[in-house]
Amino acid sequence: MTQPVRAFGARTILSHGGGDVAVSRHEIERMTHIKTIADAPLSPAEPAEGRRRGIWSRLGPSNPAVFPWVLMAPTLIVLFAIGVYPFLYALYIAGHNVILSKPYVPRFFVGLYQYQAVIQDPEFWSALKTTIWFTVQAVFIEFWLGLGLALLFQRRLLGAGIMRVFILIPMILPPLVAALIWRYMFYPGAGLVTYYGGGVTRALGWGEIPFLSDPTIAFHTLVFVDVWEWTPFMFLMMSAGLASIPRQPYEAAEIDGASAWRVFWTITMPLLRPAMLIAVVIRTMDAFRTYELIVVMTRGGPGNATTTLNVYLTKTGLEFFDASKAAAISLVMMMVIIVMSFVFIRALRSRTETAE
Amino acid sequence: MTKQRIRHALVSALALSVMGAPGAFAQTDAQKALAGREIRFLQPSMPQFAALGKFIPEFQEKYGIKVTVDEIPFDQYRQKSLVEMQQGTGTYDIYAVDVMWLAEYAAAGFLQPLMPYVKNPNLTDEGYDIDDFLPRVISGTGVYNDTLYTIPLGAGPVGTTFRKDVAEAAGIQMPKRFSPEFTTDFMYKAAEKVHKPESGMIGFAQMPGRWFWGVTYLPYLYAFQTPKTKGDEYVDKNWRITINNKQTIDSIDYFVKFKKFMPADSANWGIGEATAVYQSGNAFGLWNYQDFIKGFFEDPNAQKAVAGKNVHLHTPAGPHGVIDPWFGAWSFGLSKDSTKKEAAWVFIQWMTSKKIQERATEFGAGPSRHSTYKSVTLAKFQPWWVDVYEFMLKETNPDERIRVPEWAEISDIMGEEGSRVWIGEINSATAVENMQKRMSAVMRRGGYYVPGRTDLPPQHWRDLSYYDRLPSTWK
């Protein structure tokens, strides 16, 4: 039996028992008595429905080159609208001199001036230092507390279910509500903590503790509240990671008589690294952007002791309405977060590979 | 005789009812046509707005215009209002405008000039009488570039409030308002004398929070000026920053000296914290703003511990006898993007009318009209206003804080550096050096030092007669 296999220029290759033979269109028409329309112009009277069906079939599953893009299109459009476009617009704004409260000031291209202004601003460096220090302290404590709790809850504990719910409550609260609760807990002289804590410290002869008034103590008060709020997240991630570790390595270690400490460092930690990586990267990015907690509790004060990059950015953008400088700050922040995440991922991956 | 008496009584009753009725002035056809409209008003959360808010139902009933009020905490108000204004969507028809932000709002074109509305008899009630406003109050509050943009709903100085009973018990004779005897030295010594934290009484509740320096520290910046340096507190005639001087250093040191009376955890205290301590009867004195007195200290139902026990003074005179000419005011501004400007104006003119201004003083609103100052209602419900009249007429200075669009940044710099002195991070000399550098940078970015620039704003505080023009003569 002769079958057309593939087209090759103006000729068609026919395959049959004796091998491939190239034939022209006219020869095919002569053999099959069917008139081909390859060169005939499309009829303008073709029904619209047919055309539509053609478009859909070109975009449908029958077209593997296009169909995946069709499926991804809604996501891509949303990503472009809320990610790519704002990013490009921020780049544009940061290259100009836009002050929203002064629409009468002529706008013009200023090159890298806004980045220079940010880098030359001592408040930026102070805020960057505060942000990094806050992030490192908070994430470090949250990580170890979360891991410790997750390991504890691996054992059979009485009332573990209820305790888990209580542990997760801070994370469920909206950050603004949590910040307000703590603000009133630390309200000078009248908050739950300041009133009773002050009573105790006064009785001990230490006087009142300036929870939100001393630069160092205010900073650590904020770290404490962040740890209270986000340790549950670490606990959740670590619990999920621990649940995914197979039992066999532990059984083998038990047979070998390995100590609990050795089991933790040689089995639990290496196998938990993927979960740790995700949890630490997410929390680091989040802690780096902390805003509500600081604004509600200290407004960046006293002085600028708790002014983080996000507080500095918001003040520049929404109090001074310097949109261009704010855009430059946000782009610098984005770069810092990307670099930090990259370093984390590289460090944790290399350790995982070494362990394997 | 009896018939005649009855007739007289009826005529008198009718006349009184017409005079006293809320809708004494008949509505014009143009006003009637606005019935059914809905306007939105953005305001900060403050006692004087709460006082005026009591009259909104009456306005709605009279004009048939629905008013929706959105209230924002004071310290977030500027941010919210500017975000709304620069979006240009016209969500709000009326904005409450602080005297310090007029330049920023008006220069940006966010507000509608009001004089054409004032002079439109179809929209403005008969008897509105724009010239009844104190000249310095209306021009200081609402005039920018010779154009009237807002109408005041109350204006006043800042001052200090003290517990009269505590002073008497300690043998301190508190001076009268504006008395030259009330000096910075007197105030500190009095606070020191009554300061007994172990008995629950602190000498003075200062407000050193970073955000508040721009309002609570400034009276001392002025008080420490010499007659020669008055007017050059921030800038010289060429707009060069002048903050780095002995007067600023001394005033910061004086302000920070009050830390001695404050609890350890007070570096972030603002109006809320300090006022709460005073209201609970645990402080001898604190900063106040004239419009807050009724709502914060003298409401017998809300402030049982302190109402009726206070003496309200101006801020103290400094070592050279200079007192702060503070001018604080809030006003109604009409949004340029409002689609219901006429209805919004009818609301503004009604709220700032003689009648409502007077009646609102019963609930804590402050005066800005001659007639309100002279009214029996004000003298009865807020007697502490009476001796402020002459000050607001002749002494006050609307540019006491320089009213430039850069003020928010200048104030923030002052707060940050001052707050660092309060917590002991730096000393006052370093703080004013930093202020000098940073404020200069702000002014440079604002274009004040562009060589050859000839359109720099006028410095009206050097000749206050600018603000004394008859209100109706503004554009």
Q: How many CA atoms lie within 13 A of A203 on its CB side?
A: 6
Residue B389 lies in a domain: yes
Contact indicator for B95, B337 with CB cutoff of 8 Å: no
Residues in A lying within 8 Å of B, measured between beta carbons = 100-105, 186-190, 194, 207-215, 218, 298-305, 315, 318-321
Q: Are residues B128 and B42 in the same domain?
A: yes
Cα–Cα dist B399/B99, whole Å: 9
Tokens 């990094």 belong to residue: A132
Cα–Cα dist B243/B225, whole Å: 11
Residue B121: pLDDT above 80?
yes
Residue B336 lies in a domain: yes
What pLDDT shows up at residue A8? 45
What pLDDT shows up at residue A48? 55
Q: Are residues A121 and A237 in the same domain?
A: yes
Residues in B lying within 8 Å of A, measured between beta carbons = 78-79, 82-83, 86, 104, 107-109, 209-211, 263-269, 273, 276-277, 405, 408-409, 412, 416, 419-420, 422-423, 425, 447
The number of beta carbons lying within 10 Å of the beta carbon of residue B73 is 11
Residue A107 lies in a domain: no
User: Which candidate from B82, B269, B412 shows the least CB-CB separation from A101?
Assistant: B82
Domain span at B190: 158-314
Cα–Cα dist B365/A86, whole Å: 45
Query: Of B284, B314, B344, which closes a domain?
Result: B314
Q: Are residues B139 and B260 in the same domain?
A: no
Across the interface, whether the CB atoms of B86 and A100 are under 8 A apart is answered yes
List the beta strands (DSSP E) in A166-303: none
Strands across the sheet containing A19-24: A3-8, A11-16, A19-24
Helices (H), B127-263: 135-142, 164-169, 184-194, 213-216, 218-223, 246-257
Predicted confidence (pLDDT) per residue in B20-60, tens digit: 444 445 788 888 888 889 999 999 988 889 889 999 999 99
Across the interface, whether the CB atoms of A318 and B108 are under 8 A apart is answered no
Chain A residues with beta carbon closer than 8 angstroms to that of B77: none
Q: Are residues A22 and A170 in the same domain?
A: no
Chain A residues with beta carbon closer than 8 angstroms to that of B209: 299, 301
Q: Are residues B150 and B162 in the same domain?
A: no
Higher pLDDT: B456 or A135? It is A135
Residue A108 lies in a domain: no
Q: Which residue of A has its CA nearest to B409?
A: A320
What pLDDT shows up at residue A160? 81
User: Which candidate from A188, A207, A210 shows the least CB-CB separation from B273?
Assistant: A188
Cα–Cα dist B125/B121, whole Å: 7
Q: Are residues B163 and B295 in the same domain?
A: yes
Q: Are residues B145 and B250 in the same domain?
A: no
Q: What is the pLDDT along chain A (356 residues), one digit of tens a residue?
A: 444 444 444 455 555 544 555 556 566 556 555 555 545 444 455 555 555 567 777 888 888 888 889 999 999 999 999 989 999 999 999 999 898 888 888 888 999 999 999 998 888 999 999 999 999 999 999 999 999 999 999 887 778 888 888 888 898 899 899 999 999 898 877 788 988 888 888 888 887 888 888 889 999 999 999 999 999 999 999 999 999 999 899 999 989 888 989 999 999 999 998 899 889 989 999 999 899 999 999 888 788 899 999 999 998 998 888 999 999 999 999 999 889 888 877 877 776 666 55
Q: Following DSSP, what letter does each residue of B114-131 receive, concatenated?
A: -HHHHT-TTTS-TT--GG
Residue A102 lies in a domain: no
Q: Are residues B140 and B49 in the same domain?
A: yes
CATH of the domain at B69: 3.40.190.10
What pLDDT shows up at residue B20? 42
- As beta bridge partners, residue A4 has A14
Q: Are residues B136 and B42 in the same domain?
A: yes
- Residue B135 has phi, psi (to 5 degrees) of -55, -50
Question: Taking residues B99-123, what's their average pLDDT?
Answer: 91
Residue B72: pLDDT above 50?
yes
Residue B277 lies in a domain: yes
Domain span at A6: 1-40
Q: Which residue of B has its CA nearest to A195?
A: B265
- In our burial notation (b when 16+ CB lie closer than 10 A, e otherwise), range B390-421 reads ebbeebbbbbbbbbbbbbbbbbbbbbbbbbbb
Across the interface, whether the CB atoms of A211 and B265 are under 8 A apart is answered yes
DSSP structural state of residue B108: T
CATH of the domain at A312: 1.10.3720.10
The number of beta carbons lying within 10 Å of the beta carbon of residue A315 is 24
Residue A82 lies in a domain: no
Q: Best residue in A217, A321, A325 to probe B by mutation, most B CBs within 10 Å?
A: A321
Backbone dihedral region of B109: left (phi > 0), alpha (psi from -120 to 50 degrees) or beta?
left
Peptide bond between residue A302 and the one before it cis (omega within 30 degrees of 0): yes
Q: Are residues B190 and B278 in the same domain?
A: yes
Contact indicator for B58, B109 with CB cutoff of 8 Å: no
User: Which candidate from A100, A103, A208 shows the least CB-CB separation from B265?
Assistant: A208
Question: Taking residues B177-182, what's their average pLDDT?
Answer: 90
Rounded to the nearest integer, the mean pLDDT of chain B is 89
Residue B286: pLDDT above 60?
yes
The least confident of A45-49, B255-259, B391-395 is A45-49
Residue B260: pLDDT above 90?
yes
User: Could you give the number of structural domains in chain B?
Assistant: 2
User: Which candidate from A104, A189, A320 shows the least CB-CB separation from B408?
Assistant: A320
Cα–Cα dist B95/B108, whole Å: 15
Across the interface, whether the CB atoms of A188 and B263 are under 8 A apart is answered yes
Q: Are residues B39 and B110 in the same domain?
A: yes
Q: Return the sign of the alpha-carbon dihedral for residues B285, B286, B290, B291.
A: negative
Q: How far is B417 from chain A (nearest CA, A)?
A: 7
Q: Are residues A154 and A32 in the same domain?
A: no
Q: How far is B152 from chain A (nearest CA, A)?
A: 23
Nearest to B205 by CA among B297, B290, B98, B324: B297
Q: Are residues B101 and B63 in the same domain?
A: yes
Going from the C-alpha of B411 to that of each of A316, B120, B252, B365, the distances in angstroms are 14, 39, 14, 27
Across the interface, whether the CB atoms of B82 and A301 are under 8 A apart is answered no
Could you tell me the two tokens for A137? 């302290």
Binned at pLDDT 50, 70 and 90, residue B223 comes out as very high
**B332 by DSSP, 3-state: which?**
strand
Q: Longest Cα pair distance anywhere in chain A, in angstroms? A: 113
Across the interface, whether the CB atoms of B264 and A207 are under 8 A apart is answered yes
Query: Of B286, B314, B342, which closes a domain?
Result: B314
Binned at pLDDT 50, 70 and 90, residue B143 comes out as very high
Tokens 């670490």 belong to residue: A234
Q: Are residues B35 and B140 in the same domain?
A: yes
Q: Are residues A262 and A151 in the same domain?
A: yes
User: Which candidate from B86, B267, B405 shows the least CB-CB separation from A301?
Assistant: B267
Q: Which residue of B has its CA nearest to A122?
A: B438
What pLDDT shows up at residue A29? 58
Predicted confidence (pLDDT) per residue in B287-332, tens digit: 998 888 988 999 888 888 898 899 999 999 999 999 999 888 999 9
Q: Are residues A124 and A211 in the same domain?
A: yes
User: Could you give the number of structural domains in chain A?
Assistant: 2
Model confidence, pTM: 0.77
Across the interface, whether the CB atoms of A210 and B273 are under 8 A apart is answered no
Could you tell me the two tokens for B363? 């609930």
Q: Are residues A131 and A275 in the same domain?
A: yes
Q: Are residues A34 and A121 in the same domain?
A: no
Residue B18 lies in a domain: no
What pLDDT shows up at residue B6? 52
Residue B143 lies in a domain: yes
Contact indicator for A95, A279 with CB cutoff of 8 Å: no
Q: Are residues B239 and B338 in the same domain?
A: no
Instruction: Give A246: exposed, middle or buried? Use CB within 10 Å, 0-12, 13-18, 19+.
Output: exposed
Across the interface, whether the CB atoms of B416 and A303 are under 8 A apart is answered yes
Q: Best residue in A121, A213, A219 to probe B by mutation, most B CBs within 10 Å?
A: A213
Binned at pLDDT 50, 70 and 90, residue B3 comes out as low
Higher pLDDT: A197 or B242? It is B242
What pLDDT shows up at residue B405? 83
A-to-B residue pairs, Cβ atoms closer than 8 angstroms? 97
